[in-house]
Chain A
Amino acid sequence: MLSDAKKGDSGQISKFQPQSPEEVRLVELGFKVGAHYEIVEEAPFSKDPLVVEINGVRIAVRRFLLNHIEVI
């Protein structure tokens, strides 16, 4: 799951079935199957939210929104 990723992790999104309007928005912002991701930064202390770089775009997102994104 992408929600378990740590700073510096990278890989590819393997499965994502959006289940809420917010998750649909994530797909529109680039969180698509096959997209390459890299965790650029995590917020201090709580590690939440985190900055994900996807398709060359940096997106800050709260961790719980990434719960349904499977990665390899």
Chain B
Amino acid sequence: MKFAIFLGCNIPIRLKQYEAASRAVLEKLGVTLVDIPEFNCCGYPLRNIDLKAFVLSSARNLALAERQNLDMVVLCKCGYGTFRMAEHLIKEDGALRKKINAILAKDGLRYEGDVQVKHFLSVLFNDVGTAAIKEKVTRPYEGLKIATHYGCHALRPSKIVQFDDPVAPSLFDRLVELTGAVSVDWSTKLECCGAPLLGTNDELSMDFTEKKLTDAKSAGAHYLTTGCVFCQMQFDTIQKRMATNGGTNHHVPSILYPQLLGLCMGLDKEILRLDNNEIDISGVQDFLATEPHLQSVQYTGT
């Protein structure tokens, strides 16, 4: 299994732990990743500004992957949704495709639509498969309750993004349950984290975050888990900022899914860069089952 990994703009500078943990987990599961240094902005930040600029920016990445005959794995849900939307618009509109390709030709690129864009979680669930993951889980969690946050742009519009059932998705919950953790039921599971409004309407943005944190807490979750750059930053950096600025401290830190999975696969916390998170998540290790061989060592010792 081989994919071009799309990191986008934020991960390499603000969310290094997502990259590190994803690479470690995928390597353990036998997925080969190829880096394409020429990748540019996925187009998501341009969507408010100019439709064609967004599609062009997206298409350039797709063309770069296509040139190497690679499918793409995207770590961010907003990036994933944007690629799928661009794919769709280009497919739907022949004139747009022509125009985009004329611009791409200046860089010797061309986009034909022969590249599959997958989200990191889909690669785990569909390509690697739950059985293969289960096999690698050596220290499952015990008694850990997780609130899975799906992320809007992977779920909707479902006809275009085709990630999971938009009304009753289960992919992420099943991935969480592979780790031994319980995926709790919470009513705002499928709602927005608030990130897209940060910078234009901070108050409204944080209203959304607040609502979700309250809900996750009352559902009994110890941690939130995400598979998206913006959701993670909202639940980590912004949650911390909200608490320090006098808001309620809900104590529901957010852990990135590959960090959650990596730990119970026996990957080192340094490799998964748990320390990079703004809010301390080291406590999650307390839920890991004690390793059988460690127990026996302890017994012989006493």
Partners in one complex: no
Name A's B-contacting residues (CB within 8 A). Answer: none
Name B's A-contacting residues (CB within 8 A). Answer: none
